[in-house]
A and B are shown apart, each in its own frame.
Chain A
Amino acid sequence: MVSVECELLSNEEDAPGHYVMALAAPEIAAEAQPGQFVHLRTPRTFDPLLRRPFSIMLADKVHGHLRLLAQVVGRGTEILVNTPVGAKLEVLGPLGTGFPLPTGDGDVLMVAGGVGVAPLISLADALRGFEHPAYIRGLFGAADEDMLVCWIEFAGRCDEFYVTTEDGSAGERGLITEALAQQLDRGQAAVAYTCGPVAMMAAVAQMCGDADVPCYCSLEQRMGCGIGACLGCVIAAADGGYLRVCKDGPVFATDRLDWEAILSDQQ
């Protein structure tokens, strides 16, 4: 983990309100594991005050670059995506606990919802680099064609790729969980990884649990320090306590979490 100033190398809108930002961050790229994140400070201001966490979408260890996928959700992210190329951003990272890599045989399922594709791209990228690459079945769901952010980056790292959109503008019309049901029925899945809306991940967790397929999800939460000190970003654990999204996560085995509490905390 380092706290460094990084040059913004490029910044391109991939889908409406979604930007792919590339940063020169050799120390962070060298250390980064799939599923980890960085904490970005909004430039030169105390308002908005707090840093914003972003999953690392790709860590190019050769060139020392990081790619992040930023969705504009409020004033802080609006300011960040409008940072001019060439400017410096204060970056803390890599942070958190990422995805455990598959150990045995069998296929890998990846279930992405919208902007949640970002950490799964980092994972798929890492798995491609294995000597015996895992066979990846990628599933990507979104509201419509426009919201299939960075789908080319995801699809290009999967051996099979399935798309659903709620309006049918791309892929099958429907929810990604329907595609997941078909994939689970095929068997042969050794492990599943998911990131997307909480309701989607809760359903994926349930389905994988029923099918006896270990499942890992990447969560987000309002964050303070980003390094485990402030206990601000916790999420309900299955054992009745709380886990820190920034330090114990953002990736969790889905059976460690209390999904009922997580869903009700959102309402």
Chain B
Amino acid sequence: MTSSSPDLSLQIGSLQMKNPVMTASGTFGYGVEYAELFDMSKLGAVVIKAATMKPRVGNPPPRIAETPAGMLNAIGLQNPGADAVISEKLPQLAEYDVPVIVNLSGESVDEYVQLAEKFSACGQVDALELNISCPNVEHGMDFGTRPELTAELVGKVRAASDLPLITKLSPNVTDITEIAVAAVDAGSDALSVINTLLGISIDVERRRPLLGNVTGGLSGPAIKPVALRCVWQVYEQVDVPIIGVGGIMNTRDALEFIMAGASAVAVGTATFVNPTASVEIVAGLQQYFAEHDLPDLGALVGAAHP
């Protein structure tokens, strides 16, 4: 029994989180959807659905398909556009004592810069997450698959905003560490590792792809080993905090990511299965750290590395 509770807080630039558990963009809407089910202020941070400059209607249905221990999604960045997110969605989150991170998705470097400026100026978000890895829109992954484009984009957004910058990496690359290093060298304060894996499901009765968009992003327990491998590899190459994402369903999964090198974890698909998964993981981590006499988060980050 420890005399004081372990310190699970962490800092990413000016972003101060009371614990390392976040939601994953796109799985938590704008937060308020889940407010009836649990107290959002128990989370380290909330990452809201990707925002684009203009409203997007998204992809034709079906948009999701279940796969073994996972799911494919091809939502296609449906959102009301940056201005509506700022004026209609973010104010609803203001009453909760939790940092808000907005996920940004642009079609060009200029558009990412404009998005970063808009959200920095609005005063309602605590950090930016650059989505350079969306598999469900045309060119969505370009900035996340070519290191020179990653560097250019992150550098320009860095120059346009004082907010902490998190870059969300795609696993759909030959060597994720190249992209990670490019993003960090260009000024990214942290990395989210990983976005979904590109996949397809086929309806054998209709003899057609099951998803309206043909391809979709694979998430859920099925991708956890891949995500862990990516976190492991990136941890060995960069010195910024890594946010582990990919198939985290419970405390044990979160611990694996932390030991692989993640300083924080984002819970995504698990929330669909168990709406309170994220807050259960917060409690579970506190219990584990206390039971193992770990004073703070840093004591476990990367612990599995030789």
Contacts and interface: CB of A to CB of B under 8 A. Distances in A.
A46 B269 CA distance: 11
A104 interface: no
Contacts of A233: 61, 63-64
Contacts of B206: 267
Interface in A31-56: 41, 46-51
B27 A265 contact: no
Interface string B21-64: 00000111100011011000000000001000000011011111
A57 interface: no
Contacts of A222: 61-66
Main secondary structure of the interface of B (DSSP, over half): loop
B28 to A, nearest CB: 6
A50 B63 CA distance: 14
Main secondary structure of the interface of A (DSSP, over half): loop
Nearest to A262: B61
- Chain B: interface size category: 35 or more
Given A225-B27, A225-B272, A49 B221 contact: yes
A121 interface: no
B64 A224 contact: yes
Interface residues of A, number: 36
B275 interface: yes
Given A225-B27, A228-B29, A230-B27, A265 B272 contact: no
A229 B61 contact: no
Contacts of B274: 3, 41, 90
Name the residue among A47, A49, A227, A234 with the largest chain B CB count within 10 angstroms. Answer: A49
Contacts, number: 108
A240 B249 CA distance: 36
Nearest to A48: B66
A1 interface: yes
B71 A49 contact: yes
B275 A231 contact: no
A252 to B, nearest CB: 14
Interface in A137-187: none
Given A3-B275, A46-B220, A49-B273, A229 B68 contact: no
Interface of B: 26-29, 33-34, 36-37, 49, 57-58, 60-66, 68-71, 73, 75, 78, 206, 212, 220-221, 249, 269, 271-276
Given A47-B68, A229-B28, 18 more contacts: A3-B276, A41-B274, A46-B221, A50-B66, A50-B71, A50-B272, A51-B272, A90-B274, A225-B33, A227-B34, A227-B275, A229-B27, A229-B49, A231-B49, A233-B61, A234-B61, A234-B63, A242-B61
13 contacts: A41-B274, A49-B66, A224-B73, A225-B27, A225-B33, A225-B272, A228-B29, A229-B27, A230-B272, A231-B78, A235-B61, A240-B57, A242-B58
Interface of A: 1-3, 41, 46-51, 76, 90, 92, 221-236, 240-242, 247, 261, 265, 267
